[in-house]
Amino acid sequence: MSLEAINPSTGETLAVYDEMTPEEVEIIINQVNGAFSYWRRTGFAERADLLNRAAGVLREQADKYAKVMTDEMGKPISDARSEVEKCAWVCKYYAENGERFLQEETVETDATKSFVTFQPLGIVLAVMPWNYPFWQVFRFAAAGLMAGNTVLLKHAANVPGCALAIEEIFAKAEFPENVFRIALVGSDKVDRIIENPLIKAVTLTGSVQAGKAVAKKAGTMLKKTVLELGGSDPYLILEDAELEQAVETCVFSRLLNSGQSCIAAKRFVVVASQREQFENLFTQRMAEAKMGDPTSEDTEVGPQARLDLREDLHRQVRQSIKSGATLLLGGKIPKGTGSFYPPTVLTDVRKGMPAYDEELFGPVGAIVPVKDEEEAVQVANETSFGLGAAVFTKDVARGERIAAENLDAGCCFVNDFVRSDPRLPFGGIKDSGFGRELSHFGIREFVNIKTVVIK
């Protein structure tokens, strides 16, 4: 078996990698476990120094690593550079704050002394996706490594070059050998890795189907999991929204990473009084977005990461139209090479259509007309997902109330687009997964929260 990296904008085969055998993976797991016995005893200062070095490597060679992402999964080069910088940020963040997040906590009891300490678990298996091939690794790895765990990365099969590049970054930062390793294998090998008793926990970012499969296997083995899965983020446009600002934000979020983001704006829930103007402005701005060569600095929309992904997206669009949605823009596969799909706008979207019920993982915006705020909230929550949501209104107190109390999602924003930030916990509910990454919540997911009592 082999793993093939294909440039999605040209269809060109970039490289072919031999898949590791089960025996080779087992050797790596043993080596990573051996490194854990040393790594867990290093101090926070040493781990922080190494994370700072990793941030330095990322920043010094940002163009190189951005190009790897653009070549393998078609990410527009400006987005790719931003992703590299964000990875450096999260390394610096945990270098500066990790020790404080994991400080022992004294608890007053009737004992002479009692406290809570946070100890690493061992090897954490990270099963990561292709859409943010650096960020989604680093946002877990920076916290996990700072906590004293070691990491085995099983990356998406279509971005093996990204996996190798990340392993290279930790080596260049002079992390001890085998603290961070990769397993170049397909998804069908994940169960066997989870079964290995040296793997202590699993984190996965990916589809609902993949999350359920990993959770089932990890649950059988009684191993902790954190899952960040899909999303169908609703953006509520209320009657007092500042429409031009809202449209600009909505379009930016919908087209970020060529629409291939779990937390991208996907369903635009628009009250009746704003519908016509929102549709006109939103469609106009989507039409203006430049689609093309992802290596070009002014490209906003690159190709979809694979041809099969584009086909599935097109199926969702066509089935929604067949079920009564109105096509305002796009919706046609362009001629030529590459897996491009144009910015597309659907309106009159309602329950029972793929554009309403499923995640649209590409540059397709689904407008859902509603009569008022009450119905907007109802529609926003009428989904199996619960990752992100946003509300647009001039009344900030109103927006805060809706975001904090009424929207069923892990990350809710007011007058802004949903995004992850190292300083804030990130994750979802319902079919969007469970557990949290980032902030102090994220670093405590994969530690033994140990009670110590001394009489």
Catalytic entry in 72, 83, 167, 228? 228
Q: For domain 2-229+429-454, say whether CATH 1.10.3720.10 is its number.
A: no
Query: Known catalytic residue: 228?
Result: yes
Strands 344-347 and 326-329: antiparallel
Q: Average pLDDT in the 68-94 region?
A: 98
Per the prediction, the chain carries an average pLDDT of: 98
Strands 433-434 and 113-120: unpaired
Residues 6+ apart with CB under 8 A from 171: none
Quickly list DSSP for 158-205: T-HHHHHHHHHHHHHTTPPTTSEEE----GGGHHHHHHSTTEEEEEEE
**For residue 169, which of 182, 157, 159 has the smallest C-alpha distance?**
182
Q: Are 365 and 282 in contact (CB under 8 A)?
A: yes
Place of tokens 């959770």: 215
Reported as a single tens digit per residue, the pLDDT across 49-62 is 999 999 999 999 99
Q: For domain 233-414, say whether CATH 3.30.565.10 is its number.
A: no
Q: For 21-172, where are the E strands, in sequence order?
A: 105-106, 113-120, 123-127, 150-154
Q: Which amino acid is at 11?
A: G
Could you tell me the two tokens for 66? 């951005």
Reported as a single tens digit per residue, the pLDDT across 427-455 is 999 999 999 999 999 999 999 999 999 99
What residues form DSSP beta bridges with 4? 16
Reported as a single tens digit per residue, the pLDDT across 185-215 is 999 999 999 999 999 999 999 999 999 999 9
Catalytic entry in 87, 91, 250, 262? 262
Q: Which amino acid is at 148?
A: G
What's the pLDDT at 1?
78
Residues 6+ apart with CB under 8 A from 10: 337, 338
Which residue ranges make up each domain of the chain?
2-229+429-454, 233-414
Q: Please state, as a whole number, how many other Cβ atoms lie within 10 Å of the Cβ of residue 296.
A: 13
Q: Are 14 and 7 in contact (CB under 8 A)?
A: yes
Reported as a single tens digit per residue, the pLDDT across 289-339 is 999 999 999 999 999 999 999 999 999 999 999 999 999 999 999 999 999
What's the pLDDT at 383?
97
Quickly list DSSP for 195-255: HSTTEEEEEEES-HHHHHHHHHHHHHTT-EEEEE----EEEEE-TT--HHHHHHHHHHHHH
Could you tell me the two tokens for 314? 């097109």
Confidence of residue 179 (pLDDT cuts 50, 70, 90): very high
Do 233-414 and 2-229+429-454 fall under one CATH topology? no
Reported as a single tens digit per residue, the pLDDT across 9-52 is 999 999 999 999 999 999 999 999 999 999 999 999 999 999 99
> Residue 270: helix, strand or coil by DSSP?
strand
